[in-house]
Structure 1
Amino acid sequence: MTDWYHHPGPDVTAHYQGIAALLRALPGLRGGVHVGNVPATLPQDTAGRVYPYAVIWAGILSPVPDDDVSGRIYQAGQTGEFTVTVASGDWTWTTGAARDVKHALTDALDGRVKPQRLQQSIAQVMTDPAERPARYYIPLTWTLTDHA
C-alpha cells in the first residue's frame, strides 16, 4: 500500500470534510465529531459520563495532529488508511454509536470509503484507564481512495 500522504497529487482535505459531515449528521454522536484530537472537555450527562463522540485520525490507530490532515495529497489511484475512534462514557452507547458510524461510512463518498473488514471484525470495545468515570472506545479502520 502506498504511503499516500507523502506523495504529490489531489488534496484529500475535501474527503475528510465529507467524512466529518457524514458523521456530524448522526444524531447519536452528541459529543461531536473531531479531527485529529480529543477536546479536553466533552458534553456529558448528569452522572459525568461523556456522550458518544468520534475522532477521525489520518492514519492507522495513531493520533495525527489536526493540522496534518489539511493539505494531505495523494496521486491518482492511491489509497490511504484512516481511523475513526468512537468513544463514550457508557459501553452500550459506544457500541451503538460504532454501529451507526459503520453504517454511515461504508461505501461513503461515492464508494471511496471502505471498511477494513478484518480489523473491524476483531475490533473490541476497550476502556481508557486514564479517564474517570470510565471511557469506552472502539477504533474502526477504513481505506480511502481517490476513486470509486
Structure 2
Amino acid sequence: MTAPDVLHTALMTRLRAITSLQVFEFQVPDKPPADGQGRVYPYAVVWPGAGTPGPESTVTGASGDMWAASVNVAAGDPAWVLPAVTLVRQALSLLTLAPGITLTEVPLGGVVTKDPDVAPARWFLPTSWAALTP
C-alpha cells in the first residue's frame, strides 16, 4: 500500500491550489477568516484515514487496500457552501494521488446543514473520498 501520508499530501496539495478556498487539516482555527459582516469565508477541513487492508491483501498480500479521507466544506453563508463544494469536487474527482491510485467521491447524499456548535454561524456539507491502492 502506498503510505497514507503520501496520499494525504497529494490531496492537500490539490485542495490548496484552490485560491478562493481556505483549507485546514484536522481542525478549523478558532477565528477563521471572515468578511466585514462576520461571515466566515468558505473553507474545507480534511480528515485523512490511515488506510484499510482489503480482505485479499490480508490473506495473500495482493493489492486492494482502501484509503479514504473526509472533506467537510463550510461557510458563514449557506449560499457559499454549494459553490465551494463544486470547487472541491472539480479538484478531487478522479485525481491521481500516486501512480495507479485514483480518488473518487463516495456518495453520502448529505445536505447543507447549520453547525449548532460554532460561532459565528456556519453551514457545512461533508464529502467523502476513497481510493484503492495497489
TM over 0.5: yes
| TM-score w.r.t. length of structure 1 | 0.74
Would the alpha carbon gap of residues 95 and 73 (structure 1) be closer, same or farther in structure 2, given more than 3 Å must change?
closer
Question: Residues 5-24 of structure 1: matches in 2 within 5 Å?
Answer: 9-24=1-16
Select the structure that is richer in strand: 2
Which residue among 126, 130, 133 is the counterpart of 1:139?
Answer: 126
Larger radius of gyration: 2
Q: Structure 1 regions of 5+ residues with no counterpart?
A: 1-8, 60-71
Q: How many residues align?
A: 122
Question: Residues 40-79 of structure 1: matches in 2 within 5 Å?
Answer: 40-59=30-49, 72=50, 76-79=63-66
Q: Name the counterpart of 2:19.
A: 27
Residue 73 of structure 1 and its aligned partner are, at CA, apart by: 5.9
| TM-score w.r.t. length of structure 2 | 0.81
The CA deviation string for residues 97-146 of structure 1, in whole angstroms up to 9 with x for no partner, is: 001101110100255211113x1xx2110101122332010000111222
Sequence identity (%): 31
Query: RMSD over aligned Cα, in angstroms?
Result: 1.9
Q: Structure 2 regions of 5+ residues with no counterpart?
A: 54-62
